Amino acid sequence: MSAPSQHLQLTEAERIEIRLAALNDCAPDTAINQFHRCCGSSKWSKTMAGRRPFSTLDALQKCGDLIWQSCAHQDWLEAFAAHPRIGEKSAVRWSSQEQSGMNGLSVVLQNAFAKANNIYEAKFGYRFIVCATGKTAVEMLANLEGRIGNDPAIEILNAAEQQRLITHLRLIGLFTE
């Protein structure tokens, strides 16, 4: 008679370590694709893939921040364009999860988002970017409407910071999904 099988239960830290090792060891194109899921900038994704191996998730995020800071505005704009407009449905699972505070929007709020998105895009020339995780629709609309009044030189920095925050969450998602 054989002993009952015992399933090995990995801790979250162990799962992250295994997935990080797999990312470190995979083909460059595979790594680029994984990083591109986190940030829509081609330059950022390619540079991240070239900086492997990473010893920890924290080291990976710090490297990502340094690369993001070195990216040009055109790289930032490429990343912004990879996001759906705030308030619009997305087929991308991460975007849908991040914007879960937008579920069940009333027609009034849908119209308010459409109007504010159009004003923002006309003024700045790119999509409004906000780290939507944990925010309600009302909070995001207030953020959008408030940022419309910003100077373009300030707003590009605000948008880039929001992209950095989104990228951090998505990097974590690579290892915990």
Active-site residue identified among 7, 36, 73, 83: 83
Quote the CA–CA distance of 71 and 111 in Å, as a whole number: 34
Tokens encoding 33: 């694709």
Q: Is there a contact between 102 and 140 (Cβ–Cβ < 8 Å)? A: yes
Find how far residue 131's CA is from the centre of its chain.
8
Greatest Cα pair distance, the chain, in angstroms, is: 75
Token pair for 80: 């912004």
Q: Which two tokens stand for residue 14?
A: 């162990």
83 is catalytic: yes
Catalytic residue set: 83
